[in-house]
Amino acid sequence: MTKIGVNEPCPCSSGKKYKKCCQSKDLEEKRKRLDEINKLEKIYLNGQEEHSNKINYCKEHYVELFPDCKIINLTNYINKDNYRQILTLNYNKNTIILVERTDLTEELFNEKSNLESNDLILIYKGAYKTFEALDILKYDKDISSMVTNRDNGLTM
């Protein structure tokens, strides 16, 4: 998209200069888009406030296991289309992201997990582990190893 000069004819073909016609409307739309991006970025960095019992249980468990990490839930916001954007925003933030299987996240689960019984994804610095919430303790060693490896710059 090319930038329109304020003294150029307005692209709406009104015959007026851009600054006297559509500039203020365009600036307002741009401000609204930036506000929405900032709102989403804040959620992507801090997580959502509401949590299911399953997520609450996992958050409590991982807060004890990883006291230096922030644990956030992005179940209502993450999907396969914005997955990489969210990972990029949180990559250097010591943030563990929890995602519960829902209708919204089903495509992401289908992409990341080969078991339908897996109902949670834990994501940390680009690495992830899918598992059943009921078996959370069974995966502590794998998840601890994943977090340690990522902190040390190692890939899985």
Q: What is the DSSP string of 89-114?
A: HHTTTTEEEEEE--TTTHHHHHHH-S
Q: What is the pLDDT of residues 110-136, one digit of tens each?
A: 999 989 899 999 999 999 999 999 889
Nearest to 101 by CA among 124, 81, 80, 84: 80
Whole-model pTM: value is 0.76
Phi, psi of 97 (to 5 degrees): -105, 130
The pLDDT value recorded for residue 1 is 59
The pLDDT value recorded for residue 65 is 94
The pLDDT value recorded for residue 36 is 83
Nearest to 74 by CA among 35, 118, 42: 42
Q: How confident is the model at residue 144 (pLDDT cuts 50, 70, 90)?
A: very high
Q: How confident is the model at residue 92 (pLDDT cuts 50, 70, 90)?
A: confident
- The proportion of the chain whose per-residue pLDDT surpasses 70, expressed as a percent, equals 99
Tokens of 96: 């563990």
SS (H, E, C) 1-21: CCCCCCCCECCCCCCCEHHHC
C-alpha–C-alpha distance, residues 71 and 9, integer Å: 52
Task: Tell me which residue has tokens 């990490």.
Answer: 69
As a whole number, mean pLDDT of residues 75-85 equals 91
Q: How confident is the model at residue 72 (pLDDT cuts 50, 70, 90)?
A: very high
As a whole number, mean pLDDT of residues 145-151 equals 93
Domain ranges in the chain? Answer: 47-151
